[in-house]
Each structure stands twice: as structure tokens, then as C-alpha cells.
Structure 1
Amino acid sequence: MAYQPYQTYQNNSVTTATPGELTLMLYNGSLKFIKQARKAMEQKNHQQKNTMIQKTQDIIRELMVTLDQEAPITKQMMPLYDFAYRALTMANVHNDVEQLNQAEEIMTQFRDTWKEVIKQERIRQHGKGVQSS
């Protein structure tokens, strides 16, 4: 078997990531798949579009089922995840780029917010003078 340093790096990234970093990876993955779905849509590659949208929906489903149902913020997040999921379904069925854009906007806001949460948590843990990228 050939040595694949990038695959090894990715595997190590996932196995050593904190739960917060894993969530950020999910958000980033969803955005990557939305971009790939948009490209496939533009190229009229319906199979690829369908695959990328389904991958994004799988991520959103995972984010939904892992939400802490006791946390008050869950009541605000769940409808947004549901909206993004349904927008992806409509984008897939109707080749609707606008629906894809709406899902992307929601996932981008979640990702950007989560990135800031991680940054603030690192500052809190390591002192006010230290910042991570």
C-alpha cells in the first residue's frame, strides 16, 4: 500500500481534534459540499449535485442529532438547521441555486459563530494575552 501523507494528516486531525474542532470541521465540510453542489449544478451534472447535497444533508442531520436538547440555544438552532436541510432538498429537486445559497448562508453563519466560540474559549483557557488563529 502506498504511503499517503495527506490521508494520514487528515486522519490524525480528526482523531486529535476537540469536540469543538470536530464541529467546526463539520461546518467547513458542509460548505465545501455546497460549493461542489453549486458547481455540479452549473455543469448540469445532476448525479454529482445530488451526491454533494446529500453529503451536506448528512452533516446537518449529524449536527441536529448531537445538539444538547436541554440547552436553551437548541430551540433557536434546530429551526435553522431544519430550514437549511429543507432548502437543500428544494435545491436538489428543482435545481434551485437560490435555495442552495440560503442553505450556504445559514451554514456560513453557524461556522463563523462557532469559529469565534473556539477562539474565545482558547483565549479564556490560555489567558487574555494569547490568541490562536
Structure 2
Amino acid sequence: MMITSPYEKYRQSAVSTSSPSQLLLMLYDGAIRFGRAALEGIDTADYSGLSINVGKARAIIKELSNTLDSSYEVSAGLKSMYEYIDHLFTETNINKSKTAGEEAIGYLMELRQTFAQAAKMSAGQTQQHG
């Protein structure tokens, strides 16, 4: 794949030099951004845009779900949460439901905040022990 725009080059380099926790936050940011764009599609009756953006958000949710490490107890709960968020995005698309989309985005924002806090705490511990 050819990378043409400077932004794409930057993005590729940002992804390849990011830590796992930074990548996770980038995935959440993307899902939230696509979720919001999907809601704009409902507002403007751009149902093609709605569908495309819901598809992108769902692809990220699937990626988050597929990369869970099942050796952690919390993973089972997260897997169910991702399945529910995926269900909400499906509802958003099929029923043009802003309520479902807003609920999904709310959960994603909470999860992102939780992981951001955890990443800060683990970075702090690494510095203390290093």
C-alpha cells in the first residue's frame, strides 16, 4: 500500500512507535470519532455516511474484542461490553437511533478514561521501579 499524504505518513509512524496502551487509546478515539460521525449522519439524513461510520466504529470494536487477553479476569466482562456496544451501533444504523449511538459512545468514553488512568498508573510504577 502506498502512503501518499504527509498525514498518512505521520499516522503510520505514530502507530508503529506507539506503546500498546497508546494504541488502545487511539482505537478508542477512532471508535468514538466514527460513532459521533454516524450520529451526524442521522442529523443530516446522510444515511450512507451513517452506515459507513457505524461500520468503521464496529470494525474497531471487533478489533478491541479480538485482541483481549483472556488470561486477565476482566477480559470476559470487557468482551460482553464490546458485544453490547456493537449491538448498540447496529441499532443506531438499522433504526437510525441516536439514543443507542449516544449510549455506545458513552461507554466507549468511560472505557477510554479507565484505560488512560490505568496506563498512567502503570507508567508511574514503571518509573518508580526502573
Per the alignment, residue 50 of structure 1 pairs with 51
Distance in 2, Cα, partners of 1:4 & 1:68: 34
Aligned twin of 2:29: 28
Paired with 1:4 and 1:88, the residues of 2 have a C-alpha distance of: 30
- 1:71 and 1:120 map into 2 onto residues whose CA distance is 18
- Tell me how far apart the structure 1 counterparts of residues 5 and 99 of structure 2 sit (CA, whole Å): 38
1:71 Cα deviation from its structure 2 partner: 1.4
Map of 1:74 onto structure 2: 75
Q: TM-score, normalised by structure 1?
A: 0.89
Gaps of 5+ in 2: none
Q: Residue type matched to 1:80 in 2?
A: M
Deviation at 1:5, TM superposition (A): 3.2
**Quick check: 1:113 aligned with 2:114?**
yes
- Could you give the per-residue CA deviations for residues 62-111 of structure 1, whole angstroms, max 9, x where no partner exists? 01111012211012111111110001001100000000011111111111
The residue number in structure 2 matching 1:92 is: 93
Identity within the alignment, %: 24
Quick check: 1:39 aligned with 2:40?
yes
How many residues end up aligned between the 2 structures?
128
Question: Could you say what the CA RMSD is over the residues aligned between the two structures, in angstroms?
Answer: 1.8
TM-score by structure 2 length? 0.91
CA positional deviation for 1:4: 3.8
* SS of aligned partner of 1:127: helix
- Matched with 1:15 is 16
How far apart are the structure 2 equivalents of 1:81 and 1:104? 12
Alpha-carbon distance in structure 2 between the residues aligned to 1:98 and 1:30? 16
Query: Aligned partners of 1:123, 1:20: CA distance in 2, in Å?
Result: 13
Measured after TM superposition, the shift of residue 10 of structure 1 is 1.2
